[in-house]
Amino acid sequence: MKFPQDLKIAFITGANRGIGLETAKQLGKLGYYPVIGARSESAGHSAVSQLKADGIDADALVFDVTDAAARQNAFDYFTQKAGRLDVLINNAGVHLEGEPAVEHLFSASTVPEQVLRETMEANFFAPVLLIQKLLPLLRQSNAGRIVNLSSILGSLTLAADPTSPIYEMKSAAYDTSKTAINSYTIQLAHELREGAIKVNSAHPGWVQTAMGGSAAPMSIEDGARTSVALATLPVDGPSGGFFHMGAQLPF
């Protein structure tokens, strides 16, 4: 079954729970058709059922961000269903260095190679390769939007400033992966600056999720707001920026 042409279609990776699912919910309430990227069929179906209970039509796609075959399958899926994609939100990610602000399993000099590689694979290489795969479909949208989930911990400016509130919060692999995706956001936005596609990085905040941990002060509802705002930017909205709740952050 093809999607109705008047619906804006949003693909959100890692969206079967947490910030991703809430992002899908908020976009659905704005009239978007969210497609949930989930690593298992059962997790995807559960998320779709939750959205439908809130009156939101949605679909799910079995999707592992690190799997090249899954990226091709996503391309084929959106090509068949709509011939385009309006919004891509690279929400999926990992943090393998302990609970933020509670425990630090490794220092910069001790973080294991495997942790570095797995973190960069999921948080940097996977979203970049997915963007490259789906960009032809985003070009078919009248107003394509790409949102890369980053973190304030990826801000080199703030990480290096002793007066910054995040100065003592260091996770070498995670922070570096988010700095890298911020850099790619700048690069891609520059490449696409003459067209209709807008590309931005989002800091959702320190959110009460499985990744954020028990000390996080923000609700999941608030954690999704930045992604939703960047996914629904108007024609004159920014591109190539780094944002949190409407405020621009320094790279």
Q: How many Å apart are CA 96 and CA 102, to the nearest integer?
A: 13
Helix (H) / strand (E) containing 75 = helix 68-81
Q: Are 22 and 223 a contacting pair, CB within 8 Å? A: yes
**In this predicted structure, which of 30-44, 90-104, 157-171 has the lowest mean pLDDT?**
90-104
Strand-by-strand arrangement of the 8-12 sheet:
59-62, 32-38, 8-12, 87-90, 145-149, 198-202, 242-244, 247-248
Q: Which string of DSSP letters, residue by residue, matches 157-189?
A: HHHT-TTSTTTT---HHHHHHHHHHHHHHHHHH
Spatial CA neighbour of 61 closest among 104, 15, 24: 15
User: Is the pLDDT assigned to residue 208 strictly greater than 70?
Assistant: no
pLDDT at 73: 98
Average pLDDT, the chain: 94
Mean pLDDT of 190-198: 97
pLDDT bin (cut points 50, 70, 90) of residue 245 is very high
Token pair belonging to 56 = 């939101």
| All structural domains of the chain | 8-248 (3.40.50.720)
pLDDT at 100: 65
**Segments of the chain assigned E as strands:** 8-12, 32-38, 59-62, 87-90, 145-149, 198-202, 242-244, 247-248
- The Cβ of residue 176 has, within 10 Å, a number of other Cβ atoms equal to 20
Q: Are 61 and 44 a contacting pair, CB within 8 Å? A: yes
Q: Which string of DSSP letters, residue by residue, matches 201-238?
A: EE---SBSSTTT-TT--B-HHHHTHHHHHHHT--TT--
User: Is the pLDDT assigned to residue 216 strictly greater than 90?
Assistant: no
Percentage of residues of the chain with pLDDT beyond 70 = 94
pLDDT bin (cut points 50, 70, 90) of residue 103 is confident
Q: What is the pTM of this model?
A: 0.94
pLDDT at 206: 74
Mean pLDDT of 76-98: 96
Q: Are 34 and 13 a contacting pair, CB within 8 Å? A: no
Higher pLDDT, 82 or 216: 82
Q: Are 87 and 27 a contacting pair, CB within 8 Å? A: yes
Cα atoms in the 13 Å half-sphere on the side-chain side of 141: 26
**In this predicted structure, which of 39-43, 134-138, 213-217 has the lowest mean pLDDT?**
213-217
pLDDT at 205: 87
Fill in the amino acid letter for 66.
Answer: T
pLDDT at 3: 84
Token pair belonging to 145 = 């939007």
Query: Tens of pLDDT along 133-155?
Result: 999 999 999 999 999 999 999 99
Nearest-5° angle of CA 249, CA 10, CA 49? 115
